[in-house]
Amino acid sequence: MNAKEFAEMLDGREIGDELDRAEEKLAKENGLVVVFGSSDDLIEFRGCIDDEGGCYNGGTIPILNGKLLPNHDDCDCEFCGYNDLLAKAKTITAIWDEPGAAATWTYETEIPHETFDIMEDGEVYCRGIVFEFSSIQ
C-alpha cells in the first residue's frame, strides 16, 4: 500500500478514530508515516515513527534521520551543535486554526505527501498527511 492509498483509506474518519493499532502496523509495514493533530496542542506521528510533538497554537517539528528532534528552545548557543542538526532536518509546520483554512489543523512541508481529512461533527477538523519514511532518511 502506498501513501496515496493509505490516505484514501483514512479520509473522512472521525476525530479519535484516526487509525487503530492494526492500521498503525500496516503503515509501518508499508514504510509510511501518518501525521495528524490531536487536541489543540499535539501533532501525532504513527507508522514508521510513533511519537508526538508539542505544538500549542501551531509550530514546526524538525525530523532528522527518521526521528523527531527534541525541543531545544532554551539554548541559543553555537557550540552545542543543535543548530547544525536543525539545518539538516526536514520539517513539518503545524498550523492551528488559521482563518480561512480548510481545517482546524493543517500542515505545510516540503516532504512529498498525500492528504486526508479527519472530521468532527461534520466539519473538517484536521487535514492530515501520509508520506514515505524513506523520504526523510
Q: What is the pTM of this model?
A: 0.93
pLDDT at 81 over 70: yes
pLDDT of residue 83: 81
pLDDT band at 78 (very low <50, low <70, confident <90, very high): low
pLDDT at 76 over 70: no
Residue found under cell 484536521: 126
Cβ-contact 120, 38 below 8 angstroms? no
Q: Which residues are within 8 A (CB) of 76 and not within 5 positions of it... i.e. 6 or more apart? A: none
pLDDT band at 80 (very low <50, low <70, confident <90, very high): confident
Total domains in the fold of the chain: 1
- Mean pLDDT within 30-36: 98
The b-or-e profile of 2-41 (16+ CB within 10 A means b, else e) is ebeebbebbeebebeebbeeebbebbbebbbbbbbbeeeb
| Domain limits for position 12 | 3-136
